[in-house]
Structure 1
Amino acid sequence: MSPVALDAPSAKVNSLTTPNKVVTNGHVPSTEVLTRPNLALWVTKDHKIYQKEEPYPACPPDDCIVHVKATGICGSEIHFWKSGRIGDCCVTHDIILGHESSGQILEVGSNVKGLQIGDRVSIEPGVSCWECDMCIRGRYNLCPKVKFSGTPPSDGTMRRFVAHPARFLHKIPDTMSYATGALIEPLSVAYNAVVRAKPYLGQPVVICGAGPIGLAMALCARAAGAFPIVITDLEQNRLEQAHTLGFNRTLKIDLSWDRLTTAAKIREVMGTSCLPQIAFECTGAASSINAACYALEDGGTLLQVGCGKPEVELPLMSMGFREVNIITSFRYQQSWPVVIRLVNEGVLGDVDGLITHTFPVEKTIDAFETCADRSKLAIKVQIVDE
């Protein structure tokens, strides 16, 4: 595809000095940034990804233009690339991916209060309508009209410059790197699941899957007081990453095991004095979900976070006889200020330990290929721009 011509950068440089956009916070963006091409990463309905240059975005009155400094690749984006769908959400036309981002504000809309050029922000990607019943009740993650970055049909943040509603831009401290700021999104997924499960101090927990969300879940569950925490995965390198984050009870899953064998081994790793009372299932795989159900003690709770096939078979009768609860968790609500505070104060521990690979924005396709290649041993891959 041929690149799209950029707007004249001089016009954007001049906008930094107009009277209603005075920089007062000391974080003056480099005007050189505005001369760079607005590279964006696209996915097609026939399972291809490509990168091309986009025009510099316009700035609506309620939006800000953000120079995206760091963006993480999520497993959902690999699903959209390789499978073309997640559940009922399908890629029907070319869209820009990306929803785990942070950056610096370059331009501020005329209606925006409380933000200014130079502010460092983490981007909350779900833009809800604030008019429907779900939004009014505070459950705006369930808004039926939500426009979620990088999820069909909405374009995402995997580009150098993006316009985003100011209401969903959250300031990050000077002490927080942009890489960490981009982790607020996956950490928010884990935070929302923990809030829904409500673990208490000393409650035994198993976390199925040691990918980015599983490890983020472990950090949040530990901060909430859960103990002991057992983490399972198919890959030893992911379990070793869990060890570096301070989680020593791990189990490498063998796909030859049936669900009862897997459940018994989870209980064995946890110890003889307690059984899992909450299972945070972060893989979406039917075998993992079933094993988690059987690993739980009677009356336990399965908290489903991972995305898998649209339909999954469950041992419903066994769960019913044992009063095993099922709770689902979808994205997040009102999490950004809390998670930013927790991360900044070190409550969650070394969250940057989730990041294993970093690529410049010009190498975004390489980053995706690395993320999708299990032999590369990637956990969280980020794309960055200076």
Structure 2
Amino acid sequence: MSSIPPTTTSNAVPKQLVHKLSLGGLKSSSIWKKGSKPNIALWLTKDHQIYQEEIPYPECEPDDCIVHVRATGICGSEIHFWKSGRIGDCMVDHDLILGHESAGEILDVGSNVKNFTKGDRVSIEPGVSCWECKQCISGRYNLCPSVKFSGTPPSHGTMARYISHPARFLHKIPTTMSYAQGALIEPLSVGAGAVSRANLSLGQPVLVCGAGPIGLAAAICARASGAHPIVITDLEESRLQQAKDIGFDRTLKVEMDWDKNETAKRIRDLFKSGDEVILVPEVAFECTGAQSSIVSASYAIEAGGTLLQIGCGKPDVEIPLMAMNFREVNIITSFRYKQTWPTVIRLMHDGIFHGADKLITHSFPLEKTLEAFQTCITRESRSVKVQILD
């Protein structure tokens, strides 16, 4: 669906728009507030259509900041919501503003906010947790049952020109870091969270299944933690070339007619280091969510190894549980992240995540967000990370 962002000529916010905003947790007064430019937002409908529509300038609550979103990455989860209408049990049931990989400039601060001022440059942590439940108090706030996660039903996201966001979940970025880099902190945090869950050690052989943005982010974080060697698999040669451009020279293009044993054998062959040393992957980061990839990874890792599941796939997936049981293969899931932003910002700034900028293959202005989404699903575009800049 295509749409030209409207410019309102009335001082009143249409009741239908007020209702749509409220369904996603956004308050709007009856008076249309204006910014210096139209506040264009990217919307998704429950019947798999996307469109752009102008919304009012946001309200600044006492604990919030108004942010001019300068860069937003398109995540695979947004493509899932667009094309499938759901991820697992999370379903799109009302018009929703997408977006959660963002960075921008603070335009205004709430009356209770003391640590930010107008003009500060920030990366936006999209998961707003309650800080009162057992999970939050124990430090696992990524599992907060009351979390409001930007762009995930039912909460509206960051794919708009101006948004309001709690200051507690904003993180300053250095003046030498671009907004595009600031928007990469979110996918890199997914990788950092997974590496933390895996407890990687220096020199540990690692397999990464999937050379999309999250797979490459996981590989970058694993490399920074000292994992070696790292083998990356994918179905697309262009994505594996992207991995090589970032410095990962051990890659495998998986063919669809290989069974689990053939794929596992070819993966293990890439871990061989000379005639004397035979390595086997000890940890596999599965970043595709595809059943065939999960099964092959479980056979490729060594007995007693760890399969760490990151990728989102179908709601129900069959795994060879008994075969994994006989080899004591550990299954660990990783959901988003917690307490990663300061560390990832520092590592990005100091060049530890070298090559991360190369994840960005396409950039579009905010007014061409629909074209940006189409690029994500067009195979010929060979996109990895598509960003929207303003």
TM-score (normalizing by structure 2) = 0.91
Measure how far apart 1:348 and its partner are.
Answer: 1.3
Kindly provide the CA deviation profile for residues 237-274 of structure 1, in whole angstroms up to 9, marking residues without a partner as x. 10000001110000001011011110011001111610
SS in structure 1 of the partner of residue 337 of structure 2: coil
* Partner Cα separation in structure 1 for residue 170 and residue 149 of structure 2: 14
Counterpart among 302, 312, 327 of residue 297 in structure 1: 302
Query: Is the Cα–Cα contact under 8 Å of residues 72 and 102 in structure 2 kept in the other structure?
Result: yes
* Partner Cα separation in structure 1 for residue 223 and residue 8 of structure 2: 49
SS in structure 2 of the partner of residue 157 of structure 1: coil
SS in structure 2 of the partner of residue 98 of structure 1: coil
User: Which residue in 1 is equivalent to 2:373?
Assistant: 368
Counterpart among 6, 30, 33 of residue 3 in structure 1: 6
User: Which residue in 1 is equivalent to 2:47?
Assistant: 46
Q: What one-letter code is carried by the residue in structure 2 that aligns with 1:152?
A: P
SS in structure 2 of the partner of residue 34 of structure 1: coil
User: Which residue in 2 is equivalent to 1:180?
Assistant: 181
- Percentage identity across paired residues of the two chains: 68
User: Which residue in 2 is equivalent to 1:262?
Assistant: 263
- After superposition, residues 264-279 of structure 1 pair within 5 angstroms as 264-271=265-272, 273-279=278-284
Number of equivalences: 361
* Partner Cα separation in structure 1 for residue 9 and residue 122 of structure 2: 24
Check if 1:331 corresponds to 2:336.
Answer: yes
Query: Is the Cα–Cα contact under 8 Å of residues 4 and 53 in structure 1 kept in the other structure?
Result: yes
* Partner Cα separation in structure 2 for residue 269 and residue 137 of structure 1: 41
Check if 1:286 corresponds to 2:287.
Answer: no
Residues 6, 227 of structure 1: alpha-carbon distance in 2 compared, 3 angstrom cutoff: farther
User: Which residue in 1 is equivalent to 2:28?
Assistant: none
SS in structure 2 of the partner of residue 381 of structure 1: strand
Kindly provide the CA deviation profile for residues 132-190 of structure 1, in whole angstroms up to 9, marking residues without a partner as x. 00000010000000000000000000000000000000000001000000000000000
SS in structure 2 of the partner of residue 51 of structure 1: strand
Query: Is the Cα–Cα contact under 8 Å of residues 149 and 157 in structure 1 kept in the other structure?
Result: yes
* Partner Cα separation in structure 2 for residue 90 and residue 43 of structure 1: 12
Q: CA RMSD in A?
A: 1.3
User: Which residue in 2 is equivalent to 1:77?
Assistant: 78
Residues 209, 54 of structure 1: alpha-carbon distance in 2 compared, 3 angstrom cutoff: same
* Partner Cα separation in structure 1 for residue 377 and residue 76 of structure 2: 9
Kindly provide the CA deviation profile for residues 177-231 of structure 1, in whole angstroms up to 9, marking residues without a partner as x. 0000000000000000000101111110000000000001111000000000000
SS in structure 2 of the partner of residue 276 of structure 1: coil
Q: Which runs of 5+ in 2 are unaligned?
A: 12-33
User: Which residue in 2 is equivalent to 1:25?
Assistant: none
Kindly provide the CA deviation profile for residues 277-305 of structure 1, in whole angstroms up to 9, marking residues without a partner as x. 00000000000000000000110000000
* Partner Cα separation in structure 2 for residue 128 and residue 202 of structure 1: 35
* Partner Cα separation in structure 1 for residue 377 and residue 103 of structure 2: 23
* Partner Cα separation in structure 2 for residue 316 and residue 304 of structure 1: 14
Check if 1:358 corresponds to 2:371.
Answer: no
User: Which residue in 2 is equivalent to 1:62?
Assistant: 63
Query: Is the Cα–Cα contact under 8 Å of residues 209 and 234 in structure 2 kept in the other structure?
Result: yes
SS in structure 2 of the partner of residue 35 of structure 1: coil
Query: Is the Cα–Cα contact under 8 Å of residues 6 and 55 in structure 1 kept in the other structure?
Result: no
Query: Is the Cα–Cα contact under 8 Å of residues 103 and 122 in structure 1 kept in the other structure?
Result: yes
Q: What one-letter code is carried by the residue in structure 2 that aligns with 1:319?
A: M
Q: What one-letter code is carried by the residue in structure 1 that aligns with 2:63?
A: D
SS in structure 1 of the partner of residue 35 of structure 2: helix
Measure how far apart 1:3 and its partner are.
Answer: 3.0
* Partner Cα separation in structure 2 for residue 73 and residue 118 of structure 1: 25
* Partner Cα separation in structure 1 for residue 43 and residue 129 of structure 2: 23
User: Which residue in 2 is equivalent to 1:315?
Assistant: 320
* Partner Cα separation in structure 2 for residue 226 and residue 289 of structure 1: 21
Kindly provide the CA deviation profile for residues 308-328 of structure 1, in whole angstroms up to 9, marking residues without a partner as x. 011110100010000000000
Query: Is the Cα–Cα contact under 8 Å of residues 41 and 159 in structure 1 kept in the other structure?
Result: yes
Query: Is the Cα–Cα contact under 8 Å of residues 282 and 305 in structure 1 kept in the other structure?
Result: yes
Query: Is the Cα–Cα contact under 8 Å of residues 6 and 38 in structure 1 kept in the other structure?
Result: no
* Partner Cα separation in structure 2 for residue 85 and residue 195 of structure 1: 27
* Partner Cα separation in structure 2 for residue 315 and residue 235 of structure 1: 25
- After superposition, residues 133-148 of structure 1 pair within 5 angstroms as 133-148=134-149
Q: What one-letter code is carried by the residue in structure 1 that aligns with 2:291?
A: A
Check if 1:157 corresponds to 2:158.
Answer: yes
Q: What one-letter code is carried by the residue in structure 2 that aligns with 1:383?
A: I
Residues 50, 371 of structure 1: alpha-carbon distance in 2 compared, 3 angstrom cutoff: same
Q: What one-letter code is carried by the residue in structure 2 that aligns with 1:163?
A: S
User: Which residue in 1 is equivalent to 2:114?
Assistant: 113
TM-score (normalizing by structure 1) = 0.92
* Partner Cα separation in structure 2 for residue 206 and residue 62 of structure 1: 42
